[in-house]
Amino acid sequence: MHIPDGYLSPATCVTLYAGAAPFWWIALRRVKRALNTRLIPLLSLFSAFSFVVMMFNLPLPGGTTGHALGVGIAAIVLGPWASILAISTALLIQAIFFGDGGITALGANCFNMAIVGSLVAYGLYRVFAGHAAVTARRRVIAAGIAGYVAINAAALCAAIEFGIQPYFFHDASGTPLYAPYPLTIAIPAMMIGHLTFAGIAELILSAGVVAYLQHSNAGLLQFTAPESASEGLPRGERAKGRSLWLALAALLLLTPLGLRAVGAAWGEWSVRDFADPQARRQMAGASLQHVPPAHAPNGLQRLSSVWTAPFPDYAPAIVRNQSFGYMLSGMFGAGLIVLAGIILTGLNILIQHYQLRLHGEASVTSNAGEQNR
């Protein structure tokens, strides 16, 4: 579902950046109002969690691979706007450092997974959870439904973006310049795998984490619960969150399992794959037996090299062991997200301290002025 550089036309990329921008702006404003030293670590935690979850590739029908997103649980715990920022941050790190998703297509990937995924997950969770207590089983079911529909909504958006390229962007002879498969192929090819394996993985992940939090840290579910009397988290919940950080560490150690699934995700083939006989067979098998073009489309070739990630495919060149390199990449990416959270926490504390100091100085000046009168 991570659209690479070259599969979408520049016009499509600009349009989706423009479409994502208002949501990013609203998310920043909404989160800024609720920003506190407890929220920032949670943003970092669920951003890193999403980053790591997306490294666990699953085999899908047709010989392709897919993965869960973690967007369902992020929206349920953080709310839609903070979730948009958390998932967008994970996607940004993936694109810049690992080439997982393109720089030109980052707006599209964030629109699909972070924005559509977060809003759909949050909306459905609120609808199906209703006014049930935070610890009610109904919320576990609601979380599963929300996660399942959210990842499929994101996949459908990506499929449509892939599928419209041949209709609108082709040369004089009708040859596609970017993604080569039309809607009639792109939608079923993308959705079959996500309606089954990837969707079920997101369902289990969302429902499972909510069930776990209900017994271990129910306060984290209060933010998006209608009956919550507080806009923030209760005191003491930060300490309980250590178990989630430990779970994230355990997932990082298990990331090499994501290499067990072989094959590329649908629509994420490289330029070289179009000339490789084995890769072409896999592409055809995953695309309802429609043979791909004899060579990569011209626009795809041109844009595919717009950015070279330092650690492409989560494989640092200096590490010979593939599994170890994959795990190190996960640790590096998650570490960058956590580091960003630490920096933001420090800046937030400094800003609050500065504001309090200014307020204090203003009060002293005001009192002195009244005494002089």
As beta bridge partners, residue 94 has none
- Model confidence pTM above 0.95: no
10-372: CATH number: 1.10.1760.20
Give the whole-angstrom CA distance, residue 44 versus residue 93: 12
Predicted confidence at residue 334, as pLDDT, reads: 97
What's the Cα-to-Cα distance from 19 to each of 9, 12, 25, 82, 146, rounded to whole Å?
A: 15, 10, 11, 18, 23
| E runs forming strands in the chain | 58-60, 64-66
Contact of 37 with 348, CB cutoff 8 Å: yes
In sequence order, what are the residues at sequence separation of 6 or more whose Cβ sits closer than 8 angstroms to the Cβ of residue 168? 9
Quickly list DSSP for 30-97: HHHHH--TTHHHHHHHHHHHHHHHTTS-EEETTTEEE---SHHHHHHHH-HHHHHHHHHHHHHHHHHH
Q: What is the pLDDT of residue 298?
A: 96
Q: Which structure tokens are listed for 225?
A: 């619960």
Q: What is the reported pLDDT for 244?
A: 86
Return the domain boundaries, the chain: 10-372
Give the whole-angstrom CA distance, residue 349 versus residue 361. 18
From first to last of its 373 residues, the chain has per-residue pLDDT tens of 899 999 999 999 999 999 999 999 999 988 887 766 567 889 999 999 999 999 999 999 888 999 999 999 999 999 999 999 999 999 999 999 999 999 999 999 999 999 999 999 999 999 999 999 999 999 999 999 999 999 999 999 999 999 999 999 999 999 999 999 999 999 999 999 999 999 999 999 999 999 999 998 888 998 888 665 444 444 444 435 678 889 999 999 999 999 998 888 999 999 999 999 999 999 999 999 999 999 999 999 999 999 999 999 999 999 999 999 999 999 999 999 999 888 877 777 777 677 777 766 665 566 555 665 5
Token pair in block for residue 207:
């429902």
Task: Fill in the amino acid letter for 284.
Answer: A
Burial class from Cβ neighbours inside 10 Å (0-12, 13-18, 19+) for residue 124 reads buried
According to the model, what pLDDT value does residue 116 have? 98
What pLDDT, on the 0 to 100 scale, is given for residue 235?
42
How many other C-beta atoms are found inside a 10 Å radius of the C-beta of residue 235? 10
